Amino acid sequence: MTTSPLPAWYQQGCGHIWLPYSQMQTASPPLAAVRTQGSRITLADGRELVDGVAAWWTACHGYNHPHIREVATAQLATMPHVMFGGMVHEPALTLAQRLCARLPGDLERVFFSDSGSVAVEVAMKMAIQYRLNKGETGRTRMLAFKGGYHGDTLGTMAICDPEEGMHHLYGSALARQVIAPLPQDEASSREFHALLERHAHELAAILVEPLVQGAGGMLFHAPEVLRILRAAADRYDILLIVDEIFTGFGRTGTFFACEQAGIVPDIVALSKALTGGTMALAATIARRHVFEAFLSDNPEHALMHGPTFMANPLACACANASLDLFESQPRLQQVAAINAVLTEQLEPCRSLPGVVDVRTLGAIGVVEMQAITDPEALRQRFIAQGVWIRPFRNIIYLTPAFTISEAELHKLTGAIRTVLGG
Ligand SMILES: *Cc1c(COP(=O)(O)O)cnc(C)c1O
């Protein structure tokens, strides 16, 4: 058997690249991707993989959607970028207005940035300065949840799950935040409320991923939990920050996950599928009362943050094009149809060796294992099946594009059943 030689750029560049979450000494060499289309990734050697991950949950319309490409091409020709300090442009203002129209309540002020972690950092800075601007100096800490994930920067690592998270190694370098169990049953509710009683006087905000804790292990909770958090935040006068970076844009079956609980957060963070998986962009959206706490004749009451590539016009144009597709295409029906297939096709995994749970929500399908001892080997077996599935920790999951074909979806679920069964 002949294998086509790896391209020169791969051979010459691989020794100079540092990959994420990867033990570079032992990890198998990365794949060389050369083209994407729909739910397919083409490799340099000609192999084609069906993508079960949608580029880390971002490519909700599939790759290379012609509408996004068209809008991006036009924007590229007129104004790929301009600074956002003291200057605004149509793509950003249109996008801000459209996002606010979609969000519940008076979430009406958008601060743009370029990654999810930074959007969460900005939300935390807003919450801290909200108190400072009101003359309260002692309320700078955050309450976040076990199983949670909010990013990889030093500020956001401190609000990730301290034990399960990949960040425990940095322990002593991180701010000490309050980490509570999600109030889901009697015992966890008691602990949550006890922690609040003890810490409310020093808390600026409660942060939560609504309905699904994604990178923490695809853990689901009921909408009721969000209503409990909203009520607790109101009772203790703490801001509620909802991190919809993974769940936003239809992934859980509604446009935003918080809709399912009927709550209005004080601040929302968005990124991942915001541009349909094409450009790096994030947004932090605040309610009116949050924004108003920054209005004063004191210059120090202004929000002191400003990423260089903030509100990049090309990225904003792509996000507007993505919203066009949510308006013109039956995306939420597609999510419901994907859920039906995932539920039916993954359910048989329950009886396979080592499987402890199978669960689905919207376009998310999860097979939870007792343990995955050799994730690297498992990944290779999926690649051999012609699918791109990235197990992490003890879970194997699918988060496909909403435009995936039924045959492609069956290929993904079939690969999981084959690999786990044999
Ligand atoms: C991915 C993710 C982040 C971090 O986003 P980056 O763009 O990787 O910085 C934050 N919160 C949630 C819920 C995420 O899924």
Q: What is the pLDDT of residues 68-102, one digit of tens each?
A: 999 999 999 999 999 999 999 999 999 999 999 99
Residue 166: the pLDDT is 57
- Is the predicted pLDDT of residue 3 greater than 70, yes or no? no
149, 157, 207: residue to mutate for ligand 1 pocket, most atoms within 8 A of CB? 149
| Interatomic CA distance for residues 408 and 39, integer angstroms | 8
Atom of ligand 1 nearest to the CA of 243: 13
Q: What is the mean pLDDT of residues 377-406?
A: 97
Sheet arrangement for strand 355-361: 355-361, 364-369, 395-398
pLDDT for position 422: 76
d(CA 312, ligand 1 centre) in Å:
19
Q: Which of 21, 57, 120, 209 to mutate to test the pocket of ligand 1 (most atoms within 8 A of CB)?
A: 120
Average pLDDT value for residue range 397-415 = 98
Residue 148's contacts (CB-CB under 8 Å, 6 or more residues apart) are 159, 160, 161, 179, 207, 208, 209, 213, 216
Residue 63 is among the residues annotated as catalytic for this protein:
no
pLDDT at 316: 98
Listed in sequence order, the residues at least 6 apart from 137 whose beta carbon sits closer than 8 Å to its beta carbon are 131
Kindly name the residue from 63, 130, 149, 397 that is annotated as catalytic. 149
- Tell whether the torsion through CA atoms of 99, 294, 229 and 156 is positive or negative: positive
Alpha helices by DSSP H, 205-276: 223-236
Q: How far is the CA of 352 from the centre of ligand 1 (A)?
A: 32
**What's the whole-number mean pLDDT along residues 247-274?**
98
pLDDT value, residue 290: 98
pLDDT tens readout for residues 188-240: 999 999 999 999 999 999 999 999 999 999 999 999 999 999 999 999 999 99
Q: Is 21 a catalytic residue?
A: yes
Between residues 111 and 376, which one has the greater pLDDT? 111
**161 catalytic per annotation:** no
- The amino acid sitting at 23 is Q
What per-residue confidence (pLDDT) applies to 1?
Answer: 47
The ligand 1 atom nearest the CA atom of 280:
7
Binding site: what residues are annotated? 56, 116-117, 149, 243, 272, 306-308, 390
Which residues carry a binding-site annotation for substrate?
A: 56, 149, 272, 306, 390
- Determine whether 411 is an active site residue: no
Best residue among 113, 145, 150 to mutate for probing ligand 1, ranked by most atoms within 8 Å of CB: 150
Q: Which atom of ligand 1 lies closest to the CA of 214?
A: 15
The binding-site residues of ligand 1, defined as CB within 6 angstroms of any ligand atom, are 115-117, 120, 149-151, 209, 214-215, 243, 245-246, 271-272
Nearest atom in ligand 1 to 156's CA: 10
Determine the straight-line distance between the first and last CA of the chain, rounded to whole angstroms: 25
pLDDT at residue 165, rounded to an integer? 57
List residues forming the annotated binding site for pyridoxal 5'-phosphate. 116-117, 243, 307-308
Q: What number is the average pLDDT over the span 51-71?
A: 98
What is the DSSP-derived secondary structure letter of residue 396? Answer: E
Q: Which atom of ligand 1 is nearest to the CA of 246?
A: 15
Rounded Cα gap, residues 175 and 274, in angstroms: 29
Q: Which of 266, 272, 397, 411 is catalytic?
A: 272
Nearest CA to ligand 1 atom 6: 116
Q: In angstroms, what is the span from residue 270 Cα to ligand 1's centroid?
A: 9
Per the DSSP assignment, residues forming a β-bridge with 110 are: 285
Chain position carrying tokens 């943050």: 305
Look at ligand 1, atom 5, and give the residue with the nearest C-alpha: 116
pLDDT one-digit tens code per residue, 393-403: 999 999 999 99
C-alpha of residue 151 to centroid of ligand 1, in Å: 5
Q: Residue 105: what pLDDT?
A: 98
Q: What is the residue with the minimal CA distance to atom 15 of ligand 1?
A: 246
pTM for this entry: 0.97
Query: What is the structure's pLDDT at 412?
Result: 98
